[in-house]
C-alpha cells in the first residue's frame, strides 16, 4: 500500500506530542517533513525527516500530499490557505480559525481546490465521550435535558507562552473550550442561544483562563465549564436524561501517553481502569458501572486516509469546526455585553 507523505508544520507541544506520535503509528502515512526553527529538537525525536525553516520552503521542496498544521492559532488559516493553494490536503489543529469570517473564507477555498480539509477535534475520539454516544445510541440516555461538561485544572501560575498572552486566539475558550463545544455540537447540533461568562481569574492573567458557558436548546441546556484554579477536577461529565443519568470522573488517558511521546501502538493505549468507569443510574435509582469505550485518536487519521484515497467523508468536516468558532464568538459577545446571544448573530 502506498503511504501518504505528510508534512507537519510546527513542533511545539501540539506537533511533537499530539500529532507526531499518532501519525507515526498509523500505517497509512509516512511523516517525511517538519517545519520548525529547532532542527535538533525535531531530529532527536524524528531522525529520518527533512526539517524546513518555513512552510513556503517545505511546500516548494518536499514531496508531500498532506499538510498538518500545528502552529499558534492565529497562523492556522493563513497556513491552511497556502497549503490548499499548493494542492495539498490539510489537517488544521483546533481551533479551526480565530474568527468565523476567516474560517468561512477558508471553506470557500477548500471547495475551489478540490482537496480535503479537516480539523483535528481529537476529543471526539475520547473513550468517555464515545461511551456517552453509545449510551445515547442504545437508548439508555434518552431525552437529555441537562448536560454538564467540565475541564478543570490547577495551574495557578501564568506561564510566558503565547496561549496565555494578550494575542488573538489565546485563552482557554479557544483551547479547551473548542473541545467541549465540539463535543456538545456533535451530540446536539447548534443551539439557539449562548450565555457565557469569561474571566481572567488568576493574578497577572492576560488571556481568558475561566469560562462558564451555557448553550440553550428548546428541550435542554448544555453547561460547559473550565478554569485553572481547581485543586480537584470534579466530574468530567454529568448527563441527565428522562429515565437515566450518567456521571463520569477523570480525563481520557490518551493525552498522558502522548505527552510521553507514546502513540497508539503503545500497550494500554486508550484503555481505562475499572475504578474510573462512569456510573449509570436508572429511574429506580439502581446504579451500575459502565465500561469505558476504547479511546482512539488514531481513528481520525484512519478515516482521513479513507477520505484521501476514496469517496469517504473526512473525520471532522470543516463546516462543523466552523460552528465551534461561531459559538466561541457568541460566548465572547455574551460575556462582553452581559446578555444572552442568539447564535444567528454570529453566523
Burial of residue 311 (CB within 10 Å: 0-12, 13-18, 19+) is exposed
Could you tell me if 106 and 29 lie in one domain? yes
User: Is this structure's pTM higher than 0.85?
Assistant: yes
Domains identified in the chain, total number: 2
Contact criterion met (CB below 8 Å) for 235 and 229 = no
Q: What is the pLDDT of residue 311?
A: 83
Task: Give the structural domain span for 336.
Answer: 123-297+327-346
Tell me if 304 is assigned to some domain: no
Q: Three-state DSSP class for 189?
A: coil
Could you tell me if 131 and 102 lie in one domain? no
Tell me if 314 is assigned to some domain: no
**Which ranges of the chain does DSSP label H, i.e. alpha helix?**
13, 20-24, 39-45, 55-61, 76-85, 100-113, 127-137, 178-188, 254-259, 298-309, 318-337
Q: What is the pLDDT of residue 280?
A: 98
Q: What is the pLDDT of residue 257?
A: 98
Could you tell me if 153 and 282 lie in one domain? yes
DSSP tally for the chain: helices H, then strands E: 11, 15
Q: What is the pLDDT of residue 133?
A: 98
Is the pLDDT score of 263 beyond 90? yes
Contact criterion met (CB below 8 Å) for 196 and 178 = no
Could you tell me if 179 and 285 lie in one domain? yes
Tell me if 24 is assigned to some domain: yes
Q: What is the pLDDT of residue 67?
A: 98
Could you tell me if 155 and 210 lie in one domain? yes
Mean pLDDT score across all residues of the chain: 97
Last residue of a domain, which of 87, 120, 153? 120
Could you tell me if 10 and 90 lie in one domain? yes
Band of the pLDDT at 62, cuts 50, 70, 90? confident
Tell me if 302 is assigned to some domain: no
CATH classification of the domain holding 49 = 3.40.50.720
Tell me if 211 is assigned to some domain: yes
95: preceding bond cis by omega (within 30 degrees): yes
Query: pLDDT tens digits for 6-52?
Result: 999 999 999 999 999 999 999 999 999 999 999 999 999 999 999 99
194 DSSP β-pair partners:
215, 341
Could you tell me if 172 and 52 lie in one domain? no
Query: pLDDT tens digits for 84-113?
Result: 999 999 999 999 999 999 999 999 999 999
Dist CA 209 CA 197 (whole Å): 11
**Grid coordinates of 186:** 456533535
Burial of residue 274 (CB within 10 Å: 0-12, 13-18, 19+) is exposed
For the segment 63-84, the average pLDDT, to the nearest whole number, is 98
Tell me if 321 is assigned to some domain: no
Could you tell me if 258 and 342 lie in one domain? yes
Is the pLDDT score of 1 beyond 80? no
Tell me if 316 is assigned to some domain: no
CATH classification of the domain holding 134 = 3.30.360.10
Last residue of a domain, which of 101, 120, 139? 120
Could you tell me if 110 and 157 lie in one domain? no
Tell me if 189 is assigned to some domain: yes
Query: pLDDT tens digits for 203-227?
Result: 999 999 999 999 999 999 999 999 9
Could you tell me if 281 and 150 lie in one domain? yes
Determine which of 110-114, 160-164, 281-285, 305-309 has the lowest per-residue pLDDT on average.
Answer: 160-164
Q: What is the pLDDT of residue 267?
A: 97
Contact criterion met (CB below 8 Å) for 173 and 328 = yes
Could you tell me if 169 and 113 lie in one domain? no
Last residue of a domain, which of 120, 144, 165? 120
Could you tell me if 24 and 66 lie in one domain? yes
Amino acid at each position: 500500500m502506498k503511504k501518504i507523505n505528510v508534512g507537519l508544520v510546527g513542533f511545539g507541544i501540539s506537533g511533537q506530542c499530539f500529532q507526531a506520535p499518532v501519525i507515526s503509528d498509523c500505517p497509512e502515512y509516512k511523516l517525511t517533513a517538519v517545519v520548525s526553527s529547532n532542527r535538533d529538537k525535531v531530529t532527536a525525536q524524528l531522525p529520518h525527516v527533512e526539517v524546513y525553516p518555513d512552510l513556503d520552503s517545505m511546500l516548494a521542496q518536499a514531496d508531500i500530499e498532506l499538510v498538518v498544521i500545528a502552529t499558534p492559532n492565529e497562523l492556522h488559516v493563513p497556513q491552511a490557505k497556502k497549503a490548499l493553494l499548493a494542492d495539498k490536503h490539510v489537517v488544521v489543529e483546533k481551533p479551526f480559525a480565530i474568527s468565523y469570517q476567516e474560517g468561512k473564507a477558508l471553506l470557500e477555498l477548500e471547495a475551489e481546490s478540490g482537496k480535503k480539509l479537516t480539523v483535528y477535534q481529537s476529543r471526539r475520539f475520547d473513550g468517555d465521550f464515545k461511551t456517552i454516544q453509545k449510551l445515547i445510541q442504545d437508548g439508555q440516555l434518552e431525552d437529555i435535558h441537562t448536560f454538564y461538561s467540565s475541564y478543570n485544572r490547577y495551574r495557578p501560575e501564568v506561564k510566558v507562552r503565547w496561549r496565555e498572552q494578550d494575542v488573538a486566539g489565546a485563552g482557554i475558550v479557544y483551547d479547551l473550550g473548542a473541545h467541549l463545544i465540539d463535543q456538545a455540537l456533535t451530540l446536539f447540533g447548534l443551539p439557539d442561544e449562548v450565555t457565557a461568562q469569561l474571566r481572567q481569574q488568576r493574578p497577572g492573567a492576560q488571556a481568558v483562563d475561566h469560562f462558564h458557558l451555557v448553550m440553550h436548546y428548546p428541550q435542554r441546556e448544555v453547561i460547559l465549564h473550565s478554569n485553572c484554579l481547581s485543586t480537584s477536577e470534579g466530574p468530567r461529565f454529568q448527563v441527565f436524561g428522562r429515565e437515566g443519568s450518567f456521571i463520569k470522573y477523570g480525563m481520557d488517558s490518551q493525552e498522558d501517553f502522548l505527552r510521553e511521546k507514546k502513540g497508539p501502538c503503545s500497550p494500554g493505549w486508550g484503555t481505562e481502569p475499572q475504578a474510573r468507569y462512569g456510573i449509570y443510574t436508572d429511574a429506580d435509582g439502581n446504579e451500575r458501572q459502565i465500561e469505558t469505550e476504547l479511546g482512539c485518536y488514531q481513528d481520525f487519521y484512519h478515516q482521513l486516509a479513507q477520505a484521501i484515497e476514496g469517496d469517504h467523508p473526512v473525520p471532522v468536516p470543516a463546516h462543523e469546526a466552523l460552528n465551534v468558532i461561531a459559538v466561541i464568538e457568541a460566548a465572547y459577545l455574551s460575556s462582553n455585553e452581559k446578555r444572552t446571544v442568539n447564535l444567528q448573530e454570529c453566523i
